[in-house]
Amino acid sequence: MSRIGKLPIDIPSGVTITVDSDVITVKGPKGELTVPHLSHVTVKEDEGKIVVTRESDEKVSKSEHGLQRALINNAVVGVTSGFEKKLEVNGVGFRVGMSGADLEMSLGFSHPVKYKAPEGVQISTNKMEITVSGIDKQAVGQTAAEIRSLKKPEPYKGKGIKYADEHILRKAGKAGK
């Protein structure tokens, strides 16, 4: 039995979950998310909890069991509290700011870099820190990864965009005589 898949999901107050044959809809105070209903598992609501069970012990059923539970749990957490990723910008001459709803960055290139946030994801800046937030965990993570890929941190001086909780392994510079 999957360690993650067998855990029930508590439904907080203010959240409604609708299970259909092909999609699971989660509505909460922050918005609405849909999760695909995988074919080899069954999802049931039982006394304020969601229980995910698999049909058989085949490899496909086992792999979908934990995945389905994780997707539903992420949707429940997203519509109640949301998700957030913080990025730090390090480097002399690097600047970050908002231009309307777009993120505008000066990252040492010959031109400023503009990034438009996808729908459902909010971006805010505070000095040299970028905060990406939203209700969809996958969209927040993907947006943060795309922003980070614009100027990855380099190992010698640590210049670039990194996650706030990321540790950059530093390399020694050129050895003198």
pLDDT in tens, the chain (177 residues): 678 888 999 999 999 999 998 999 999 999 999 999 999 999 999 888 999 999 888 999 988 999 999 999 999 999 999 999 999 999 999 999 999 889 999 999 999 999 999 999 999 999 999 999 999 999 999 999 999 999 999 999 989 999 999 999 999 888 877
pTM given for the model? 0.89
Rounded Cα–Cα distance for residues 101 and 116 (Å): 7
C-alpha neighbours within 13 Å on the C-beta side of residue 84: 10
Rounded Cα–Cα distance for residues 163 and 148 (Å): 8
Domains belonging to the chain, first-starting first, are 9-80 (3.90.930.12), 83-163 (3.90.930.12)
